[in-house]
């Protein structure tokens, strides 16, 4: 079974078990969130940004601190347009492989990079998406203790394997529903197609009556459990 087929099943299994994570928004609302991981990238992210500008869409970006340090001007351009910014670790190391000290360090280094590039203070950048979507209950406990907010997903078309733009857009169209959190990538893996994919997806979803919002909108009705 392909990963693209497994992920929707995992979502249904994990969402109720790990309710401290944000998996989706309100299923009674047509609001959806378009999110991008692994950037900013010096080539792919500006191409994507042009598409978002054209449709006046605000998205959410989960950044790698190393990439922010390499492309601070692109990071600032994204922030200046009002897109939402979250953390994806400093260099995409899987969180379960890190000690608590290393985990906190990778998040704080990324916050520091974002502050330098965008002047966003750390307390405003506390949404965290674990690289590869991998976490443990202990990791979630640490994130909550440190006042971070874990963000997951409900629609993952596995674009980083580059199955083709039409395949990615078809997977999203088949899975999207009210409150969906869609994950695409604007980094080294998958970013080659992200602008072209978004150019097709955004008008399709708008035509279906969906409204694009940023991740912070989905947190508003959510009560975090500190246990």
User: CA distances (Å), 63 to each of 84, 98, 169, in order?
Assistant: 11, 18, 23
- Just give the CATH number of 3-16+27-219: 3.20.20.370
37 is annotated as an active-site residue = yes
Q: So what's the pLDDT on residue 221?
A: 58
83 is annotated as an active-site residue = no
Neighbouring C-beta atoms of residue 166, cutoff 10 Å: 10
CA distance 142 to 144: 5
Catalytic residue among 41, 88, 185, 186: 185
The token pair at 221 is: 């009705």
Whose CA is closest to 34, among 18, 47, 9, 51?
51
- Given a contact cutoff of 8 angstroms between Cβ atoms, the answer to whether 164 and 138 are in contact is no
Whose CA is closest to 154, among 133, 123, 169, 137?
133
- Given a contact cutoff of 8 angstroms between Cβ atoms, the answer to whether 152 and 23 are in contact is yes
Separate counts of helices (H) and strands (E) for the chain: 9, 7
- Given a contact cutoff of 8 angstroms between Cβ atoms, the answer to whether 36 and 197 are in contact is no
Crossing angle, helix 165-175 and helix 194-207, to 10 degrees? 30
pTM: 0.93
Instruction: Name every residue whose Cβ is closer than 8 Å to that of residue 78 and which is 6 or more positions away in sequence.
Output: 40, 45, 49, 61, 85
SS3 content of the chain, % helix, strand, coil (to 5): 50, 15, 35
Q: So what's the pLDDT on residue 14?
A: 73
Catalytic residue among 37, 38, 159, 193: 37
Q: How many residues does the chain have?
A: 227
Burial bucket for residue 157 (CB in 10 Å: 0-12, 13-18, 19+): buried
Question: Where do we find the tokens 């006042």?
Answer: 147
DSSP result, 68-111: HHH-HHHHHHHHHTT-EEEE--SS---GGGS-HHHHHHHHHHHH
Q: So what's the pLDDT on residue 15?
A: 75
pLDDT in tens, the chain (227 residues): 477 676 677 667 777 778 889 999 999 999 999 999 999 999 999 999 999 999 999 999 999 999 999 999 999 999 999 999 999 999 999 999 999 999 999 999 999 999 999 999 999 999 999 999 889 999 999 999 999 999 999 999 999 999 999 999 999 999 999 999 999 999 999 999 999 999 999 999 999 999 999 999 999 855 444 43
């Amino acid at each position: 079974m392909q990963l693209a087929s497994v992920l929707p099943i995992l979502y249904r299994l994990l969402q109720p078990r790990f309710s401290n994570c944000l998996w989706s928004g309100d299923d009674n609302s047509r609001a959806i969130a378009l999110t991008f991981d692994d950037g900013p990238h010096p080539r792919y992210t500006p191409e994507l940004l042009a598409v978002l500008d054209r449709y006046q869409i605000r998205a959410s970006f989960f950044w790698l601190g190393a990439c922010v340090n390499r492309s601070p001007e692109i990071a600032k351009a994204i922030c200046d347009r009002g897109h939402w910014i979250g953390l994806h670790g400093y260099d995409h190391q899987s969180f379960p492989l890190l000690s608590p000290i290393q985990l906190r360090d990778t998040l704080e280094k990324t916050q520091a990079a974002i502050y330098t590039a965008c002047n966003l203070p750390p307390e405003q950048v506390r949404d965290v998406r674990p690289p590869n979507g991998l976490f443990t209950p202990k990791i979630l406990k640490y994130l909550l203790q440190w006042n971070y907010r874990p963000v997951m997903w409900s629609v993952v078309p596995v674009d980083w394997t580059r199955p083709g733009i039409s395949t990615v857009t078809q997977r999203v169209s088949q899975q999207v529903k009210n409150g969906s959190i869609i994950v695409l990538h604007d980094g080294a893996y998958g970013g080659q197609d992200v602008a072209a994919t978004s150019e097709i997806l955004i008008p399709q979803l708008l035509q279906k009556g969906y409204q694009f919002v940023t991740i912070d909108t989905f947190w508003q009705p959510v009560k975090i459990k500190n246990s």
